[in-house]
Amino acid sequence: MKASLIIPCFNEGKGISALLARCQEVIGERNIEIVIVDNGSSDDTQQILTPLLKKYSFVTVVSVFVNQGYGHGILSGLKGASGDILAWTHADLQTDPGDIIKALDFFEKSNRPKFLFVKGKRYGRPLTDVIFTMGMSVFETVLMKTKMWDINAQPTVFHRSFYESWTNPPKDFSLDLFVYFMAKKQHLSIQRFPVLFADRVYGSSHWNVSFSAKFNFIKRTLQYSFLLNKRFKNDA
């Protein structure tokens, strides 16, 4: 089965070369497509990326000219992907693209890959971030009445048939919540595996930069959580 790994990039010009070099190490001779989404970058991401495409034949580029959110970038990449197994991860190398190989092992060993949902589970993070994740996980678990833990961990990996079942997915960071909850709702076999969350080498975070940024992230997530909960109550 062919796999497609979606990597949304927003102003990642400083790290895009290292990212693609690492992807090449990981892929080897495997049938994996890397879909780089230039998610409305305003830096030199596109200028650096374009000449690199001659070197890395496994890369497909999707361009989003105006940034409409993290989720929109991923959804744009999924739309342009050709794999049977679809996945996404971050561009900043805090999560290793090599984690996709560990995730794909689950699919290769499964006799029901269409019913499999695989997701990383982070370790090595600062204590304050761990506490934040614990709080959000408890809240989502209580609200959704199903265990929801480390929702924003990557990679997120699933079969194309699961992706094709989605309706009205969100275009921001709530996409991780939506997809994880949908996997639970559809009774997919959910497999988690440990992934190291390393320090960022290039650039800076686009959301975890200040108290106000975290507050806005929490606010948007809570708003969407209540909407998602209401949506499925109405569908019941």
Over the chain, what is the mean pLDDT? Answer: 91
pLDDT band at 200 (very low <50, low <70, confident <90, very high): confident
- Who has greater pLDDT, 69 or 205? 69
Q: In the prediction, which pLDDT does 206 show?
A: 56
Please check the confidence at residue 219 and state whether its pLDDT lies above 90. no
pLDDT of residue 210: 61
Q: What is the C-alpha separation between 215 and 218, in angstroms, rounded?
A: 5
- Residue 79: band (very low, low, confident or very high) from pLDDT cuts 50, 70, 90: very high
Please report, for the chain, the start and end positions of each structural domain, with discontinuous segments joined by +: 3-125+150-200
Q: What is the mean pLDDT of residues 151-173?
A: 95
Q: In what order do the strands lie in the sheet with 59-64?
A: 59-64, 32-39, 3-9, 85-88, 156-159, 116-123, 189-196
- DSSP category for residue 114: G
pLDDT digits (tens, 9 = 90+) for 108-158: 999 999 999 999 999 999 998 899 899 999 999 999 999 999 999 999 999
pTM score: 0.91
With tokens 């971030």, the residue in question is 129
CATH number corresponding to 3-125+150-200: 3.90.550.10
